[in-house]
Copies of this chain bind each other. A is one copy, B any other.
Amino acid sequence: MLRLSKLTDYAVVVLVRLSGGAAVQTSPGIAGATGIPEPTVAKVLKALAAGGLVTSQRGAHGGYRLSRPLATIPIAEVIAAIDGPIALTACVDGSPTSCEVLGLCPVRGRWDPVNTAIREALTAITLADMQEAAIPRAFRVPLPEQAPAAPVDVSSVPLAE
C-alpha cells in the first residue's frame, strides 16, 4: 500500500519528543511521555542511533540525545534509518539480484525516476515541518531557536486524484 512501517511513525514521534525536554532522555522516559510501548521505543532509538540521528550515552544516567536539530533532519533520513534505503521496487538498477524475467521485463530499471521523485519529496520535508503546528499548545515547549525550515513548495503540480 505504499505505506511505511509504524516504526517510522514512532521514530518521528520520538525525535520530536527528544527535541523538547531534557538534553538526554532515557527510553522509559520517552515511552512514558509518548505512550509508545517501552521496548518499541528502545528499538526505534537503537535504529536511530545506528543511523546517526541520535547519540547514545551508556551506563547509569545515560540516555539518548539528538545529534542535530530537527530542522536539519529530512524525513527521508528517518525512513532510511528505520526502514532501510528508499526503493520502491526490488528492481532498482543497482540491485545484485536481477529479476528472473530480466530478458522480458519491459520496464526494467524504469522505476528510477519514480524513486528519485519520491526521495526528493521526502528530502524536502524536515522533522521541523512536521512539528509545526503539530504539538498542541499544551505540549508546546519554548524551543531555543528552531529555524523556520525553508517552506516546501511542491504544490506546483495540480493533484489529479
Question: Are the CB atoms of A129 and B113 closer together than 8 Å?
Answer: yes
How many copies of this chain does the complex contain? 2
Question: Are the CB atoms of A125 and B113 closer together than 8 Å?
Answer: yes
A17 in the interface (beta carbon within 8 A)? yes
Q: Which residues of B contact A84 (CB under 8 A)?
A: 1
Q: Which residues of B contact A104 (CB under 8 A)?
A: 33-35
Q: A3-B88, A119-B161, A161-B76 are in contact. Are A103 and B9 (CB under 8 A)?
A: no
CB within 8 Å of B: which A1-29 residues: 1-6, 8-9, 12-13, 16-17
Summarize A's interface: helix, strand, loop or mixed.
loop
Question: Are the CB atoms of A122 and B118 closer together than 8 Å?
Answer: yes
CB within 8 Å of B: which A81-108 residues: 83-91, 100-101, 103-108
A48 in the interface (beta carbon within 8 A)? no
A87: shortest Cβ distance to chain B, in Å?
6
Question: Are the CB atoms of A34 and B101 closer together than 8 Å?
Answer: yes
CB within 8 Å of B: which A35-92 residues: 35-36, 74-77, 79-80, 83-91
9 further A-B contacts with Cβ under 8 Å, apart from A86-B161, A121-B121, are: A2-B88, A9-B107, A16-B107, A34-B104, A34-B106, A113-B125, A114-B125, A116-B159, A117-B122
Interface pairs A-B: 9 shortest CB-CB: A35-B101, A117-B121, A35-B104, A110-B130, A110-B134, A1-B83, A117-B154, A120-B157, A121-B121
